[in-house]
Amino acid sequence: MRIATLTAAAVAAVLLVAGIVVLREDPGSATPVGAVTSSHELAHDGHTRSYRVYRPAVLSARAPLVVVLHGGLGSGAQAQRAYGWDAAADDAGFVVAYPDGIGRAWNAGGDCCGTPGRTGVDDVGFLTGMLAEIARALPIDHERIYFTGMSNGAMMAYAMACRTALAAAVGAVAGTQLGDCEHPAPASVIHVHGTDDENIRYDGAPGSGAARIDGPAVPELNAFWRMVDACAAPVATAGDRVTTLRATCRDGRAVDLVTVAGAGHEWPGADQRGPLDATRLIWDFFAAHHR
């Protein structure tokens, strides 16, 4: 039986079992409820995987879903605390998922990173299964599913764009793209990177971290996605330490590169300082694009 055919009381009971309390009324309007973070486990590929879901106090009737992928040595809880996505969800009425990588890392391709990269953990399958679970419990708009992440999490966001057709858009911060990306589905992309990042270097040279990450230079990665999305020539704008290279693309998509002069391996704005708030910037980009 589909949830749409259940009574309101039955819907509430189903979602309570799932650990998420949501009351839905008129499907054409937003319904105020109490904001909540719920914790979940999912058995996948021989592992018990975990993730958190934040549902804001006012949820759109067909809600976008943003998947926030922590960096290496991080966690879903850490990403929830650090990057300000709950506040953005409160303002715009979308759902946020915060999954946990095994060993605090993601198998993003190219043998990276950590235990997942060494052992071939199926993180693409885990995240796909997580999305299906969330969509069974909440009114997710499948045309507006977004992936964003920091460092290794940004790599995993690119991996989801390369290996699935789920992403309406990707927001990468201080990351790169590793492994094969031979047949990516079109997706809008915004990439934020500091010129002084020593861990994942802007020029693509090996980084200084333990993993010695190297990949394409950030401008080359941006050019790759402009090709995927059949974009027009990009237009540059410059402000206080921030240069944005923006390309409009086929079917309303866009590919943006946001370069922050002097910034290191960081999520700009996480410390409430600096020339931009990467979370708000990425959400505004996501809100303007669907699959």
b/e 150-172 (16+ beta carbons within 10 angstroms → b): bbbbbbbbbbbbbbbebbbbbbb
The pLDDT value recorded for residue 12 is: 36
Rounded-to-integer distance, Cα 140 and Cα 248, Å = 26
pLDDT band at 60 (very low <50, low <70, confident <90, very high): confident
The pLDDT value recorded for residue 33 is: 61
What confidence tens digit (pLDDT) does each residue in 225-238 have? 999 999 999 999 99
Q: At residue 276, does pLDDT exceed 50?
A: yes
Q: At residue 2, does pLDDT exceed 70?
A: no
Q: Which long-range contacts (CB under 8 A, 24 or more apart) does 39-44 make?
A: 40/130, 40/133, 42/126, 42/129, 42/130, 42/133, 44/122, 44/125, 44/126, 44/129
What confidence tens digit (pLDDT) does each residue in 101-135 have? 999 999 999 989 999 999 999 999 999 999 999 99
Q: At residue 15, does pLDDT exceed 50?
A: no
- Comparison of pLDDT for 214 and 139, the residue scoring more: 139
Could you tell me what percent of the chain has a pLDDT over 70?
A: 88
What confidence tens digit (pLDDT) does each residue in 81-105 have? 999 999 999 999 999 999 999 999 9
Task: Specify the pairing of strand 31-32 against strand 58-59.
Answer: antiparallel
Return the SS3 of 74. Answer: coil
The pLDDT value recorded for residue 188 is: 98
What count of other Cβ atoms lies within 10 Å of the Cβ of residue 182? 7
For residue 280, is it left (φ>0), alpha (ψ between -120 and 50) or beta?
alpha
For residue 262, is it left (φ>0), alpha (ψ between -120 and 50) or beta?
left
The pLDDT value recorded for residue 13 is: 33
Q: At residue 23, does pLDDT exceed 50?
A: no
Q: At residue 137, does pLDDT exceed 70?
A: yes
Rounded-to-integer distance, Cα 288 and Cα 262, Å = 28
Could you tell me what percent of the chain has a pLDDT over 90?
A: 82
What confidence tens digit (pLDDT) does each residue in 145-197 have? 999 999 999 999 999 999 999 999 999 999 999 999 999 999 999 999 999 99
Query: In 28-143, which residue ranges form alpha helices assigned H by DSSP?
Result: 76-82, 85-92, 114-119, 123-137
What confidence tens digit (pLDDT) does each residue in 28-48 have? 334 446 899 999 999 999 999
What confidence tens digit (pLDDT) does each residue in 192-201 have? 999 999 999 9
Phi first, then psi: give them for residue 226, nearest 5 degrees: -65, -35
pTM assigned to the model: 0.89
Cβ atoms of 151 and 278 closer than 8 Å: no
What count of other Cβ atoms lies within 10 Å of the Cβ of residue 100? 22
Query: In 85-151, which residue ranges form alpha helices assigned H by DSSP?
Result: 85-92, 114-119, 123-137
